[in-house]
């Protein structure tokens, strides 16, 4: 929705003008109204549900904050979390569960088209963190209840995060306009928009074609091409959205935590999740893993049980199909192996560390295949094609055709998976003139990429975000 022409040239300019021209006392109220309008335009059937859930969560949070009775605080926490998780379970998992136990159990549950409330998973997790932080007195509540409404409903983050914390949004409580922060936000938004349109959307054409093929016709080279392109597509799709969300947040005077840090540069599977969807990893760490005891338990078996719960929930959060459960357990198994063996720290040679990095990327790539498959059987068979080969021989040529058509986008995606731009900036800014030249070139490239991206959107070449229905 935030890549549409209407958002870019109608909603966003009007929202920014109304917000920044308003008196300081009214800014937060305006932001809440804008967020509900945004939600209503994107998901009109559920706007009242969204408004009601937001208001109810704030009421419970404020009552918990005001009471000193421990039992009442605990009861309010349970009611607040249970009601929010209840909404998530009902809308996200009702249909798959019913289908799984119905007479049509043989039917692929992943094929069921479920219309979910916009951003239901992300809203629920923000609501849980809001309530939990009030209960543990980590949240420094504003005197204005509307600040809580802003945190829960802010349109820039409601669709796919990042999962900000309440105290993060308190940083925006200033009256004066911050021109530097606003400019940084615009620049970050343009970068994210270009990532989504020029890279993720182009790679989507390949992954859509490859993953639509029957397994018995899928050759090895096409399977590898589709798998690698999906890994790149998902990264630039989600990282692009995160950049846009961070940019929008800064345009409205708030700061926002980072969500990605070049994850495919990872040294291990464990460190991959410190770079990928950082806010989600931190959420599970702070609100599931640590409350269960984390790594500080006396028994090692308890640590692995805690990890099992975290990764099982992570898989189920992404979807109610078995391939997501296996996907989560796949990360659990790899992280446990690294923890037990001390890998890759025990590897001393540079060549050994390099090989381990490559093997890690292969493993992550296999798990992304499961993530993008319609069901577990298809995903496992797809991986089998990647390893053992087979398929329709005539389709071997199709991989070459796709590479010739989209090779430049694939090459650019691989290049920008690495911190090429920050390293160039660091080198050139050792000299004042060279640094100024770098800033000019970077600004021109970003602007040209945005204009080119706009031409694709106008031409109708725009796809929903990969995490739009989570």
3-43 pLDDT tens trace:
899 999 999 999 999 999 999 889 999 999 999 999 999 89
Q: Which of 176, 202, 234 is the last residue of a domain?
A: 176
Do 54 and 116 belong to one domain? Answer: yes
Domain hosting residue 102, numbered range: 5-176
Of 134, 153, 176, the one marking the end of a domain is 176
Of 146, 176, 206, the position where a domain reaches its end is 176
**Going along 254-406, which residue ranges are E strands?**
none
Residue range 120-129: average pLDDT?
93
What integer pLDDT is reported at residue 280 of this predicted model?
93
Model pLDDT, residue 299? 81
CA distance 51 to 36: 7
Domain contains 368 = yes
* pLDDT at position 394: 75
Residue 139 lies in a domain: yes
Answer whether residue 436 shows pLDDT above 90.
Answer: yes
Q: Are 193 and 79 within 8 A, CB to CB?
A: no
pLDDT at 221: 92
Say how many domains are in the chain: 2
pLDDT at 177: 80
The question of whether 318 is a catalytic residue gets the answer yes
- CA angle, 207 then 213 then 218, to 5°: 95
Do 250 and 210 share a structural domain?
A: yes
Q: What residues contact residue 266 under an 8 Å CB cut-off, 6+ apart?
A: 272, 275, 357, 360, 361
Note the pLDDT tens digit of each residue in 306-332.
999 999 999 999 888 899 999 999 999
SS3 of the chain: helix, strand, coil, percent, to 5: 75, 0, 25
What is the pLDDT, as a whole number, of residue 14? 96
Dist. CA 88–CA 120, nearest whole Å:
6
**2 pLDDT exceeds 90?**
no
Instruction: Say if residue 171 is in the same domain as residue 192.
Output: no
Structure-block tokens of residue 126: 């923000």
pTM over 0.75, yes/no: yes
What is the 8-class DSSP label of residue 53? Answer: H
Query: What is the tens place of the pLDDT at every residue in 251-286?
Result: 999 988 899 999 999 999 999 999 999 999 999 999
- Examine residue 43 and state whether it is found in any structural domain, yes or no: yes
- Euclidean distance between CA atoms 378 and 208, whole angstroms: 14
Q: Within a domain: residue 290?
A: no
DSSP string, 182-245: HHHHHHHHHHHHHIIIIIIHHHHHHHHHHHTS-GGG--HHHHHHHHHHHHHHHHHHHHHHHHHH
Q: What is the pLDDT of residue 300?
A: 84
Catalytic-labelled residue, pool 65, 255, 318, 396: 318
pLDDT band with cut points at 50, 70 and 90 for residue 110: very low
pLDDT value at 405 more than 50: yes
Q: What is the mean pLDDT of the chain?
A: 90
Which pLDDT score is estimated for 107?
47
Q: Inform me whether the pLDDT recorded for 176 exceeds 70.
A: no
Q: Is residue 354 part of a domain?
A: yes
**Does 372 share its domain with 244?**
yes
**Does a structural domain hold residue 137?**
yes
pLDDT tier for residue 109 given thresholds of 50, 70 and 90: very low
């Amino acid at each position: 929705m935030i890549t549409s022409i209407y958002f870019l040239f109608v909603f966003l300019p009007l929202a920014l003008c109304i917000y920044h021209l308003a008196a300081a006392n009214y800014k937060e109220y305006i932001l809440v109204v804008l967020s509900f309008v945004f939600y209503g335009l994107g998901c009109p059937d559920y706007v009242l549900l969204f408004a009601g859930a937001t208001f109810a969560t704030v009421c419970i949070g404020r009552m918990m904050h005001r009471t000193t009775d421990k039992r009442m605080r605990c009861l309010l926490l349970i009611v607040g979390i249970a009601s929010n998780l209840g909404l998530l379970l009902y809308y996200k998992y009702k249909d798959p569960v019913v289908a799984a136990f119905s007479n049509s159990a043989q039917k692929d549950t992943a094929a069921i088209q479920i219309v979910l409330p916009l951003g239901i998973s992300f809203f629920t997790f923000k609501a849980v963190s809001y309530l939990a932080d009030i209960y543990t007195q980590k949240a420094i509540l504003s005197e204005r209840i509307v600040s809580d409404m802003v945190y829960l409903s802010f349109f820039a983050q409601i669709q796919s995060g990042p999962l900000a914390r309440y105290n993060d949004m308190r940083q925006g409580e200033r009256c004066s306009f911050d021109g530097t922060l606003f400019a940084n936000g615009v620049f970050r938004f343009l970068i994210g928009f270009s990532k989504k349109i020029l890279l993720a959307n182009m790679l989507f054409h390949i992954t859509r074609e490859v993953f639509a093929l029957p397994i018995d016709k899928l050759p090895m080279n096409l399977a590898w091409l589709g798998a690698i392109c999906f890994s790149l597509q998902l990264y630039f799709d989600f990282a692009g959205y995160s950049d846009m969300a961070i940019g929008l947040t800064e345009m409205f005077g708030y700061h926002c935590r980072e969500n990605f840090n070049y994850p495919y540069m990872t040294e291990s599977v464990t460190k991959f999740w410190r770079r990928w969807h950082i806010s989600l990893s931190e959420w599970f760490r702070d609100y599931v893993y640590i409350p269960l005891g984390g790594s500080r338990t006396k028994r090692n078996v308890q640590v692995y049980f805690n990890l099992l719960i975290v990764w099982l929930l992570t898989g189920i959060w992404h979807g109610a199909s078995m391939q997501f459960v296996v996907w989560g357990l796949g990360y659990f198994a790899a992280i446990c192996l690294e923890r037990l063996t001390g890998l890759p720290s025990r590897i001393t040679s540079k060549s050994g560390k390099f090989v381990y990095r490559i093997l890690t990327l292969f493993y992550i790539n296999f798990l992304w295949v499961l993530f993008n498959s319609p069901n577990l059987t298809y995903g496992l068979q797809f991986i089998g094609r990647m390893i053992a080969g087979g398929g329709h021989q005539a389709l071997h040529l199709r991989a070459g055709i796709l590479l010739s058509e989209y090779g430049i986008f694939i090459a650019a995606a691989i290049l920008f998976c690495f911190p090429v731009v920050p390293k160039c900036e660091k080198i050139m800014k050792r000299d004042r003139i060279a640094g100024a030249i770098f800033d000019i070139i970077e600004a021109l490239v970003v602007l040209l990429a945005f204009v080119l991206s706009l031409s694709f959107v106008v031409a109708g070449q725009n796809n929903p975000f990969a995490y739009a229905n989570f």
